Amino acid sequence: MAATHSDYRGYLRNTVDMEAGQHRFHQVQHSEPTYRPLLFGTLAVMGLLQVASSVAILLHLTGYLQEEVQTEPVLNALRDTRKKGRCKTPKESLPSAHLPIRAHQEYYKKGEPKPITIDWDELHGYLHKLRYQKGKLQVMESGFYYIYAKTCFRYYKYVSEDSSQTGVPPVDVSNTQLIQYVYHESIKQNSKAAVLMKTGSTMRWNITSYNMYCAQQGRGVRLDDGDYLFVNVSNAWMLDPEGEGTYFGAIKLGN
C-alpha cells in the first residue's frame, strides 16, 4: 500500500514536470515569431534603398544624355570649322583696318617745328572696306567708327670710346615734347583737318642711356564716305620702328 502511494506521488511529479516542460517549450516556440517582423522590415528598407538608388542613377544618366545631345551640334560646328580651314572674311562684315608703322623712315633730327604724318605699312597691315594713301585712311562707308592709335618713342644715348668719331653733336633731349595727334579731314568741311585726339608728355632723357615712352588713345566718331584719318607726331625721328609698338587703326561699330 505504501508503494502504491509513493508511485502515485511520483506519477504526479512526473506529470507536473512534463506540463512545465511543455509550457516552457511552447514559450520558446511562441518567442520565435517575434523576429520575423524585424527581418521583414529590414528587407523592406533594403528594397526601398535599392529602388531609390536605381532611380537616382537613371535620372543622372538621363541628364547626362540630354547634355550630350545639346552639346553635339556645337561639337559638329567646331569640326566643320576645322575641316574648312581658315575662315574667309564675309562680304557683309564691317569696315576695319589695322596698320603697323612702316620701317626705315628717314626723319631729320633738326628743323622739324611741325608734327610729321606717320607712314604706315600697308603690305603688313589689314584693310577691309577702307583705303590707304600716303599715311591716311580713307572712309568708304559712312557710319560710327572707333579710331585708335599708338606711338612709341625711344632714344638710345650712344657714347663712342673714340672721341674722334663723334661726328654729329648729340641731340639735346633734356626737354623733349612727344605729342601724338589724330586728325580728321571731313568732306563736309571742305576736307579741312581738325584734331580728333591729342596726347603726349614732356620727357627728360639726359640721365639714362636708353629711354622709351608710348602714347595711346582711342575714341568713337561719326565719319562720312570720303573722310580721311591720319596721325601726326612731334620728334618723329624718335619713333620706334617696330609694328608692335606703333600702329593705327579703325573699325566701324554701326550706322
Residues 185 and 133: beta-carbon distance below 8 Å:
no
Segment 133-153 mean pLDDT: 95
Q: What cell numbers appear for 34 in the block? A: 517575434
Q: What is the pLDDT of residue 196?
A: 95
Percent of the chain with pLDDT over 70: 58
Cβ density class 149-172: b for 16+ within 10 Å, e for less:
bbbbbbbeeeeeeeeeeeeeeeee
pLDDT digits (tens, 9 = 90+) for 111-120: 555 789 999 9
In angstroms, the Cα distances linking 37 to 33, 49, 58 are: 8, 18, 31
Q: What is the pLDDT of residue 220?
A: 95
Taken in order 189, 190, 191, 192, is the CA torsion positive or negative? negative
How many angstroms separate the most distant Cα atoms in the chain? 164
pLDDT confidence of 98, banded at 50, 70, 90? very high
Residues 99 and 121: beta-carbon distance below 8 Å:
yes
Indicate whether 32 pLDDT > 60: no
- Report the C-alpha dihedral over residues 51, 56, 60, 63, rounded to 10 degrees: 90
In angstroms, the Cα distances linking 86 to 81, 82, 129, 158 are: 8, 8, 20, 46
Please name every residue paired with 64 in a beta bridge, in sequence order, or none if there are none.
none
Residue pointed to by grid coordinates 520575423: 36
pLDDT digits (tens, 9 = 90+) for 176-200: 889 999 999 999 988 889 999 999 9
User: In 3D, which of 141, 97, 139 has the Cα closest to residue 121?
Assistant: 97
Distance, C-alpha 109 to centroid of its chain: 43
Segment 146-157 mean pLDDT: 90
pLDDT digits (tens, 9 = 90+) for 54-71: 656 655 555 544 444 444
Residue pointed to by grid coordinates 585708335: 148
pLDDT digits (tens, 9 = 90+) for 40-51: 777 777 777 776
